[in-house]
Amino acid sequence: MDLILLNLFNEFAKGMSFSLPKASEAFSFLFNPTILLIAIILIAVTIFILFFLKKVITNSILGGVTWFIVIYLFKIELPLIPSFVISVIIGPAGIGTMLLLKFFGLLI
């Protein structure tokens, strides 16, 4: 019985390789100057975005919060996707403009 199971395992494992990867392949990214350059560029881009575009990001977040308040808390019926896109791109002023258009009957 043991011989039959051993033969079955040998047939099953014919095309498989049981060798372990070399340790040098695991450290292929270690001391790689390309990885260092990419990391420095990503850090610089993040600092640029947070330093120079902080007002834009804050405006977008405030626009999203305003959109949520207008749509779900005050239950004002605005077109869902267009109003969300405008609130994120323009901010609270975009939602205010859409509310004015709704007030004057220009927004369906």
pLDDT tens digits, 16-30: 665 655 555 555 656
CA dist., res. 46 & res. 59, Å (int): 18
- What radius of gyration, in Å, describes the C-alpha atoms of the chain? 30
Q: What does the pLDDT read at residue 24?
A: 56
| 18 assigned to some structural domain | no
Domain extent at residue 91: 54-108
Query: How would residue 65 be classed by pLDDT, with cut points 50, 70 and 90?
Result: very high
Mean pLDDT (whole number) for 80-88: 93
Interhelix angle 80-89/92-103, rounded to 10 degrees, is 140
In the chain, the number of structural domains is 1
Q: What does the pLDDT read at residue 52?
A: 81
Mean pLDDT for the chain? 81
